[in-house]
Every structure is written in C-alpha cells, then in structure tokens.
Amino acid sequence: MGHVIHVTASGSYYILFKKDSAVYGYALKNIVAMAIKTPGSNIKLQQDPKWEEMTNSTSGNVPIYNSGSVQHLLKVGIQGKSAEKLLLVTGQWVELIDGESLRSLWRVNITKVTSEPVFGNFNKDGVPDVVIEDEIGNGTKKVVILDGSSGAMLWEVEMLSSSTRPKPSTLNTTDYRSAFLFWGEIPGETNTTVSLNQQHYLYLLHPSFPKILLELNNSTESIAAFKAVLFEKSRHAGYVLLTGPTERSEMGSVSLAKRKLKEDVAGSRVVRLSQEEGLSDQEIRDRFFRLRYSSSA
C-alpha cells in the first residue's frame, strides 16, 4: 500500500508515505494543522519525542528508509505490546524495522516477491512470522515462512506458479499457531495434462505437520480474489473465492463462493514433502479435520 498509519510506543500517530525510493513519516498533528490551517498548538494530538528528534527541520518529515524502491510497506503488531514494527519489501530484500528507533531488526535477501506478504504464527513465541512468495525463475516460486523475531527461514517449498494466483492467507488455531493456505502446484504431484496457467491448486499447511500439505481444491477458473476467514461466532473456518476476470480491461461474469475448510479437508489429497511421517493419509486428514480455529493468535 502507498501509506500506513503508524502508532509509536507513546501512542502518537504518524502517517508513513512511500515516495520514489524512500519512506517518510509525518506527524498526524502537523497534517491536520495544515489541512484546517490552524496552529499545531490548537490540535489535541500528541507527537512522539523520539520521532521529533529524528524529524528533518527543513522538510518536516521523519526519514525512515531511502535505500531503494519499496514494493510493500506493512505494519506488524505484536499482541500485548503497543509499539508496532514495520515490514519493508524492496526488489532485493525483506526487512523488519523497529517502529520506535527505526533501526533494522533483520534483513533477508530475496529474488522477486510476487505478492504482498501475509502474517501467521508458525511457532508459539507470539511474534508474527512472515509468509512471502519469492519468484526464482522458469515459472517457479518458493513459498517461504520467515521467523518474525530473527528473519530465519522456518519453512519453505518450491512450487510451480503463475502471476495470476492470489496471495496466501492464514487462520489462527487454538494451539497458538496458524494454518497457512496458498496456491501453486507441487512439481510431479498434480495432473500435468492441464496447463499451469489454467489449473490452480490450493494447499493447506499446519506447523504440526511441516512435511505434509493437503491439496484442498483445484480450479481452472481465473481467481480474482481469495481470503481465509472465520464465519460467525462458531469459529467456523472457511474461505471466500472470487473467480472471473482478473484484469479491469477484461469482460465476463464473476462468481463468489464460500467454502468450508472441514469439507475440503475431508476430501483432500495428502501431499508428502518427505516420507518421514508414518501416519496414513486418512489419519492425517483426521488430524487436520480436528483443528480448532480462533479469532486471535
């Protein structure tokens, strides 16, 4: 996105903007004062003392990043802590920045991120982990889960891919970890008689079975949007799938479908990334079927 509203540890609001090859922050108090042409002293919004020390006296902005084109700028919230962190994705790396001091916490080199990162919990440390899709060439991508604390790789898989597939999605489970859902094609595991650009495969991963994926769904329709969600108060997990034209210039009808995870799990195909797991396919489906989902991590 082009801008985000950032809240510092002191509870002060700053608007962060992407501009050219940099990211700058502006105090919301100053923006409001300019918009209504009123002295800042009359605006009942506070400014963060630390951020004010970093403010450029000439431009009035806080320089946050100026080392290359930023593709994605995202906030990362940690439960129980008020200070947010910032995730930057450039053409060369993924970087997490402390939302108070603006120092880099970790940086991971990448080839080409193909979709906006999403957050989930692969482990139980309470720090959101980062899911990225990294294009590595020849119609192939890596789905990578990075540790939110250190940037270390927690999990990865290589998949066939196309540019029209939607970004991954996650759901929290009651064991304080997340279920991860993403689209692609495991090489050699699927029906190769259908062109990669025509067939879409949805996979489910849970950290309790890191060497197992469930193939939940496959479709030859163009996927315009996809989102995993919890329906109603029963914590019923599912996902919404919008199929139809993916470009604004294209004409055609669209279809919106709501699918239940449990139903897809019951009829899923087990994909083993290694042969270490001794459970049968049905035992694995049963374990995934018994997952319980939560609205919070």
Backbone angles phi, psi at 114, to 5 degrees: -95, -10
- Match 């506070």 to its residue by tokens: 46
Residue 80: pLDDT above 60? no
Residue 190: pLDDT above 60? no
Global confidence as pTM: 0.89
As a whole number of Å, the end-to-end CA separation of the chain is: 24
Residue 245: pLDDT above 70? no
- pLDDT confidence tier of residue 164, bands split at 50, 70 and 90: low
3-state class (DSSP) for residue 119: strand
Residue 234: pLDDT above 80? no
pLDDT tens-digit series, residues 25-51: 999 988 888 888 777 667 778 888 999
Residue 196: the pLDDT is 47
Burial per residue of 191-222, b for 16 or more beta-carbon CB atoms within 10 angstroms, e otherwise: eeeeebeebbbbbbbbbebbebbbbbbeeeeb
| Among candidate residues 135, 208, 141, 198, the one with its CA nearest the CA of residue 164 | 198
Q: Return the domain boundaries, the chain.
A: 1-109, 112-297
